[in-house]
Structure 1
Amino acid sequence: MLRGALQDAERPSSIGRLRRLLCALLLLCLPTLCLSQAASESGSGVTDSSPFSSDDLAFIAAQPALRVHNETDWPPFNFSQNGRPEGYSIDYMNLLAEKTGLRVEYVTGPSWDEFMQMIHAKKIDVMLNIVSTEARREFLAFTDAYLIAAASIYTRKDGAVVKGIDDLRGKTVVIPKGFFWQELLERYYPDIKLLLVRDSLECLEAVAFGRADATVGMVGVLDYLLQKNFIPNLVLAAQVRDERFSSIMRLAVNKENQRLRDILQKGMTLITEEELVAIQRRWGARDTVPRMELSQEERLFLRENPVIRAHVEQDYSPFLYLKEGRVTGYAVDYANLLADKIGIEIHYDVGQSREVAIAQLKARRIELIVAMAGGEQHSAYARFTQPFLSTYTGVAIRKELQGVSGLDALRTMRVATIKGYRYASLLKLRFPKMQLKAYDNHLIALEAVASGEVDAAIMSHPVMRSLIQQNFLSDLKTFPVQNDNALKRSDEGLAVRSDRPILHELLDRAITQVTQDEVDRLKRKWNLELQGGNLSDVAFSDRERAYLKQRKLIRMCVTPNWMPYEAINKQGRLVGMTADFVALLEARLDTRWELVPTATWDESLANAKARNCDVLTLAAQTPAREAFLRFTAPYINFPSVIATRTEELFVENIAQVKDRRLGVVKGYAIGKTLRQRYPDLNLVEVDSIQDGLERVRSKAIYGFVDSAPTIGYAIRELGYPDIKIAGKTEFIRELSMAVRNDDSLLYSVIDKAVRATTVEERQKIYSKWISVEYVSSVNYLLIGQILLGVLLVLAFFIYQNRRLARFNRDIQMANAEAAKKNQLLLEKTKELEQLSITDRLTQVYNRIWLEEVFSQEIRRAQRYGLSFSVIMLDIDDFKRINDQFGHPVGDKVLVEISRVLKTGIRATDTLGRWGGEEFLIICPETDVEGAFQLAQSLRERVSIHSFPAAEQLTASFGVAVYQSGERENDLVRRADEALYRAKSAGKNRVEVSVGTV
C-alpha cells in the first residue's frame, strides 16, 4: 500500500500533490499503526466478527499466563520431549491460545491424580484431554469435546485369552489412579480387582511383571510406551466395546472460573477444519492410509481434497445424531469406515435441516449428504452411491387416536413430514386430500403429533421409535407401513455432489469392499434390533440385485438323513429345520432352491466339491472344506451330547470316558474336533446316527456323540427306550450354509440373507422341530433297577427255604409294590417340586419362587454392593377381556403374554406371575436406565403383538431399583406405586419409582 502511494505521488497533478500530502501523513502515523497492528496480532483471532465480548477482552488482557497441565508420558496426546511439551493436545492448546489471545505455560511432572488435586485447589488453570464424569462435574467446568479415542485392553502374551472387558471379571486390572476409568470400573464392573498406580508406564510394567492381569488404555499411548521402554511380552488383546470407556476429550477449568471456560469454548469455534486436519496429520489421530487400490487420478484427487465436508442430521437416531457435541450413529461409523478404506477425512456439518443440506449440496458448499434416498428430483446436482442402509417407514400417532392402523385411515388427516425427504411427494401423489405439513427435523414433527398440532407423522420407523424413547414421548404409539411398496422402506446411500465423479466412484467402490463382519460389528454396536427393530429385509448392493435378477435357481445338497436338522423324505423332498430356513431365504432372495438328491453326506460333500451343487445347506467349517467352500454366519448351533444305554451313569465331561469306545458319524466335523482336543480318545466311525445308536444298544460301543437335537429326535422317532442322553460335551456345533467359493456374489447374498433372519424366526423353527430330554446327574431309574435286583436275589435265597415259601412270596410282592410306589413317589416329588414354583396356567415362575429369587438378589446386593431392578406390569383393561370374551379367552391371553415376555427378557432375568394379570421381572445387576429400556422394549412388544380374540392389547409398567438396606416388600411397593402412576397417566406406558431417580 505504501509503495503504491509513493508511485501515485510522483504524478504531476493536483491529485498527485494531494496524495503526497496523504503519504506524508501516513509516514507520520506509521509507528502508531505498527504498534496497533502488533497489539492486534497479540490478540490474534479477535476481529470485527469476534465472538468475544468487551468483558471477555478485558479478562483476556488482565489474565496472567495460564498454567496448563502436561503429562510426562502420554503420547501422542501430551507428553514431554527433551523437556518440551509435545503432542496433539499441546498443539491444540497452542492454537487455541492464538485464537483467544491468552498466554499459556505448561506444568509437567505431577501424576494424573496430583494434577486433579491441583485443579481442584486452583493451583493450575486448565486440564487438557480430560473426560467429563459425574464426580468431576462437581468441581470442574468442561468445554465441548475436541477429540475422541477408543480404549483397548493389553495383556501378557502368555496370559489368558481376553476378548472383551467381560473376560476381566475376577482378574486384576491396573490403571492410573484418578483416571475416569477407575470410576467406571468400580461402578459397573465391581468384580474386577483394581490396582491403582501413578501413570500408564507403571501400568504396563505391572502387567509385564505379573502384578496385574491386564491394563486398559489407548493404543497410541501404550504402543509408544511399549516400544520406548522395550517391554516385549505384552500384546493388544481386545478393544473395549463399552462406549462409556471411550475417551471423549475436553478442556476443563475449575468451576469457579466459568468465564475462562466460556472464552476457551468461543475460541474453539474459531479453529478451522484445515487447522484441525494439520494437527491430526502431524500426530496421527486418525489412520488415513488407504486400503483400496487407487489410480493416479484418484490419488491426485485425494491430495487436492484431503478433507470432505459432509452433512449429518442431529436427530436421526440411531443412524445419525448429535451426542455431547459430536456426531455419532450407525451411518456415521459406516461413513468413517469408508473413509478409512479410501484414505480421506470426513468432517461433519450438523445443526442444519435436510432441506438446507440439499441447498448446500446444490451450491457446492458440501461434498456429500450421509444416508439419503435417491430419486430423479436430485439427479441434477447429486450422484448416489449404492445403498448401505435399508430402513422401513413408520407412522406415529397419539394413543387416543382410535381406528388408525394404516395409511388409508390418514387420507384426509393432518400429517407431518420432514423437509427435504421424499415422503411428502409420494404422499401427495397417493393421497391428494391429505393435509401435509413439513417440519425441519424429526423430533419437532413428533412433538407436533404429541401436542395435537397434527394427527400423525411419517418417517423412518426405527428413528421415530428411538426418538420417542429418548425424549419420553409416551403419549405416542407407532406402527410400520405394511402394504405400500413405494413407501414401506427406504434404501439410503451417500448423496455426492455431481461435480465430484471421482469421489462418487471411490465411495461406491468402498461400499462393495465392506465385509459382512464389519457390518455385523456396527449393528451389534448400535444394537439396532433393540433401538427400532431389525433393518428390514436385506440391504443388497446394485451388483447383488442385478445378480439375483438373472440368477433364479440355486442348487443345494443336504445331509440325506440328519433329522431334525434335515433329511430327504420318501417323496424326494427336503424336510426338517433346514427346509424351513430355505423357505425364508427363497422369499428374501426371490430365488428357487432345487434339491440335488444324494444318498450320503460324503456324496453331498463330493457334489459340492465338483460344483454339482451351489450350496451345502448345513455344514461345519473346517480347513479342508475351505478349499472349495465359503461359510456363512452360523444359523444353527446346539451342544454336542453323549448318548449311552440307560443303565450307564451320568457323564459330566468327555475326559471322564476318554478310555471308552465312542462313536461319531464318518465325515462329520465333530470327529475331527474331538481328536484335536483329546488325541487319545477311542473314536469309532459309524455310517449314520441310527448305526451309532444301534451299536450303543448292542454294546459294541459305549456311547455315541452328536448334537442334542439329532440324538433326541432319533431316540423319540426310532423308538429307543433303552438309550438316553447321558451328558453334554463342551463343544457347540455351529452350523452354517456352505457356498461354492468360486462365486463371491452368491456367497454374499446368501450370507446377508442368513444374517437377516431374526431371533423370532429362528426360535419358531427350533421350537417346531426340537424336543430333547436330558437325564439328571441322579439316575432314579438306575437306583430303582439296582433295588429291584437286590430284592430278586433276596427272594431267590428265601425261596430255597420251602417252609417260608408263602411268607417269602408275600414279602416279594409287598417289596415290589413298595419299589413301584417309591419310584412313583420320587417322580411325583420331582413333579411337585417343579409345580410348586411354576404357575400352572402360564408356565412361568409363580410368586413363591419370585420371593425366593428376591431373597437371593438382596443377599447378593448386601454382600457384594450390587444392585438389581424389578419391573412390575399389569395388562390394561383385562377385566373387559374376561367380560367380553369370557375367562377361557382371558386365560389364553395370559398364556400368550407370558410367551411374549419370555422372548423379550434376557437369560439372567427372572419372569413370574405375581397374581391375576400382574407379572414381575427381576433383573440382576441392572440400573434404572437399563430396566427402563427393557420395560419400554417389552411394552412395545406387547402393544404390537396380536392376541387371541382380543387382538391388540397394551400393558402398563412400573420400574424400581433396589436401594441399600431396602426390604423386599418396600421394593415391590415402590414398583407397584410406579405401575399405578402409569395406569393413572393413561396406561400403555412405563413409569420409574421416584425413589430411584
Structure 2
Amino acid sequence: MLLWPQTQLIAESAPESDKISVGVTADNAPYSFLEGRALSGYSADILREISFNSGLEFEFRAGSWPELYKAFVAGELDAIDAISYRGYLSDKVLFTEPYHIRQTYLMHDSSRPVGPIDSMDDLRDLQVGVVENMFYVPFLKDQGINIVTYDSILALVRALAFGWVDIAIGPRLSLDYHADTAGFHFLNIVGSAPFDQQSLEDLRIGVQKDQPELFEAIQAALKKIPESRKVELLRRWQEFGGAQTGDQPSLQLDEREQRFLQELGPMRVGVVQDYAPFSFRDGGRLQGLSVDIINRLADMTGIQIIPVSGQWADLLGMFREGRIDILANMSMDRERLSFTQFTDPYYIIPNVAFTRNGGVELNSIDDLRGYDVAITADIFYQDELTQRLGNAAKVFTSQEAMFQALEQERVDVVVSSLPSGNYWIRELNIPGVRIAGELTFENQSGEDLRFGVQTTLEPLAEILNKALATISPTELRSIENRWLGAAMDNGSNEPSELTLSTAEKNWLEQRDYTLSYCVDSDWMPLEGIDSSGNHAGLSAEALRLFSERTNIRFRLVRTKTWQESLDAARDRECDLLPLAMKTPERARYLNFTDPYLQVPNIVLGRIEAPFIEGLGDLREKAIGLVKGYAFAELLKYRYPRLQLVEVENETEGLKLVQENELAGYVTTLPTASYHMQSQGLADLKVIGRIPADWSLSVATRSDQDLLLSIMQKVVASLSEQERRNLESYWRDVRIEQSVDYTLLWQVLAIALLGASLLVYWNRKLDRLNRDLAVANDTLARLSVTDNLTQLGNRSFFDREFRKSFQWCQRNETGLAVAMVDADHFKTINDTFGHEAGDHCLIALADVMRRHFRRETDRLSRFGGEEFVIFTSYHHPEEVIERLDRFREAVADSSTIYSGKSIHLTISIGLATGVPAPADTPAEFLRLADQALYAAKQNGRNRLETRTVKD
C-alpha cells in the first residue's frame, strides 16, 4: 500500500510547516487501521490524546510496516508509531516510553481443542499459524516449530476457523478483535505463548534522532495520559469494538415515523426454522441470534411481532406474495430489490465449502467444477452457481438435508454459512468433514444477514435501521456470544439455576409469596376452569412447575370469559395471566416474558366447506373468534373486509359454525382437537392454516416491574425437556369419559328397560357409524378435491407429487411433470363473464380426464386456469405424444355457454427425467414452469419440453 498523499490531514487549520508526519500501520486492527480514509484503532486514539495534550498537529500517513519503516529511515517521516525498542536502532531513533506492552497469546478452535500449551514441546506436533515478519518468527523456526505464515491477522484467524492450522499466535487484542468481527466466536484464547521474554512486545513512538525537541514534546504529552485513560481506551477496543462505553442514545424517531408506528398493526415475521444458530426451532420454540435481535427491535419500537416459521424457500414465496411482512436472514441481491426494502446487515458471515475430500482447496466457483455441490433452495447465490455448474449444483430444501447428503456421499461439497454448517456437522456427528475454502458470490465476501421488509411498509426499514444502530455494543456482543460462542447450549434437559435478587425476594415476602392470576375459562387443553371451579390444562401444569421452582403460591381469580380475565388484569384484580400473547393494546397495561409456548393457528369450517389458501378467501364472510383474543387485532388490521364475529367462548363459536352461521372459526390446533374429540364434532374440519402462530408468554401487571423480572427468570429457567413436556401436553390430549356411580342402582333397577334400550342403541350406533363412514369418505374426498373441476386440488398435488417423485426415484423410473395453462383466459372472463370461464375450466378438466386415465396418471388444478399433470413413464416420447393429442383435442373442441361457442387453447410445459438421489421435486416443477413460460413466449397453443438430466 502506498503512503497517503500530503492532502490526508487530521488538522487542516495549521500551516504546512507545523504538521508532524507520523507513520501509522494501516492493517494492524484494532491498534491502527483505515475505515474509509479515516484512521481508527487504539494506537490512533493514543496519538490523538498526545496531539491534544501537546498542541502538536499530526498528519497521519498510513501504509504497511515495511513501507513505513523504509520511509522513516529515509527521513520522509518525523515519527513512526508502534515501534518496539531495539538496541541496534538507538543511534538512529529516539524511543518514547511504551504506551502499551502486549503479550503474545495462543488461540485455538474450542471445537477442536489442542489441550494445555505449557512449553515449546507442546507446539511441536501442531500446525502453528503466524503472521509473517513478526519478531518471534525466527525464534519459532529455530525451535523446529512447524509454522504456516499469513500476511495479516485476519487471514490467520480465518485459517484457524477453517481448520487449516491447529493454533494461531498473535496479540490477544488483535486475535479477539478479528475473531469477533468475523463472527468466529468459537475461537478462544487458550493461554499466553511460552516464549518467555520473546512473547512481550512494547509499543512506542519513534522520533527522528535529529528532532529532540519534538521527542520531548511527544514524551511529555504521552506521560500526561492517565493510566486509567489508557485502560479505558484499550477496553473500548477490546470489548466494544471502539464504541463509547457510556449510555447509548435512545431511539430517536421523527414525527412521521412515530405516527407510522402508531398506525402500524401486528407484523408477521418469517423466521427460518432450521438455520441454526441464527434461527431454529428447538423444544417447540424459535430461538437463535436473529430471533433475539428481532425481539429486541420489537421492544425498542413497540412493534407487535407474529412469528411465522418454515423452510427458507416457503418463507421467501410467502414474502413475495405479501403473506408475511418482514423476513429475517435475508441477503440483498439485485432481483430481490424489486420487491424488498432491506435494512442494514445485522450480521455478516462467511460462506465456505464443506467436504470430506482431503487435500482439495476450493476458493472460487471455478474450483467447484467437477464436484456435485449442495446448496439451499432460493439462497442468494443459487442462480450464479446453477448457471456456472449446471446439473452439478444440487438444490436442497433444508440445511439438514444437505449435510445428510454429504454424509451419505450423495454430494461432494456443501456450500453453507460457517456457523450453520458447523452446527449441522456437530448435530449429525458427521466424521471427516473439513473446510476447503471460503467462497465469494456476486462480489460479496460473506452472507449479509438483513431484515427484508415489504415495499408497501415504508418507512419501516429505516425505523428498523435506526433501532439496529441504537443497540449497544455490549448488548450486541452478549447476543452474539450467546449463540455463536463455542459452548452454545442448544437446550439442556436440566432446569437452569434460578437466583432472585434481594429486591425480588423482598417484594415476594411483602406479598407472602402469593400471586393472583386469571385464565381463560374455556380454552382447553391449554387452560380452563373445570366443573369444580379448579384451574386445569397446560397453564396449570406450567404454574405447578413455577411454584416448585420458587415456592410462590398462585391463587386463581375465577372469571367466566377471557374478556373478563383481561378486564381483571387491567383493573389489577389479578397479578398475572399464565398464558397470553402480546398485543399493542395489552402492552398498555401488561408486561410480557419471553414466549415459552408456540401453538399453530387454524381455521375450522363445516365438513363440506372447501379448503382455503388464506383468510383472504373468506372476504365478506362471517368469521368467528373469541372476544378479546390476540389475533382479533391482527385480523381487523390485515383483513378489513372480513366480517369478524366475536363470540364469548370456544363452545359458542363451534356451535355457530355447525349451524352454518359462520363460514369459519379462528382457533388454535390444540383447542380445536380437544373440542372435536370431547364433543364428537364429526361435521367440522380444519379448512385452512393462518401463517402466524400463537406465541404465548406469562403476562404480568405493568405497574410491578419486579414481578416481570421474577417471572422472566422463572420462564428462562425451564429446561428444554420441560418445554417439550408442556408442548406434548396438548399434542397428546385424551378425552376421558367419566362414570357416575351414584346412578348404578337405578341402572340395575331398570335392567329390563336397559336391555331394550341396548338393542335400540346398537341399531342407532350402526346407523351413526355408517353416517360417520360416509362423512369420513366425504371429508377425505373433499380435502383433496377442487370444488369446481373435481380434479385434485393443491393439497392433493402436494401429497401425491412427492409420493410419485419418491416412487420414481426408488425405482429409477422416468417422471413427467406437465404444467398446463389456458391461453388468454382473462379475455374469456372479460368477454363472456366469470361463469362462462368456470364452464370452460370444467370442460377442460373433462378433456384432461379422457386423455389421462392410466393408474399412474395424476391430475390436479394448481390454481386459477393452471393445471398440473404428472405421471411415470418408460419412454418420454410416449408422454409427449399423449400431451400433444390432449392439446389438439382442446383446440379442436368448443364450449357452448348461453348459446355462445367459446374456443379455448392451452400451452403446456413438460419436464422429464429419472430422479437422481440428489434431485428434488421442486427442480422438476421449476423446469416445467420454465417450459410453460417458453410455450407462452413462442406463440401459445404449443408444447415445450425440458429435460432434468441430459
> TM-score, with normalisation over the residues of structure 1?
0.35
> TM-score, with normalisation over the residues of structure 2?
0.36
Higher relative contact order (CA 8 A, sep 6+): 2
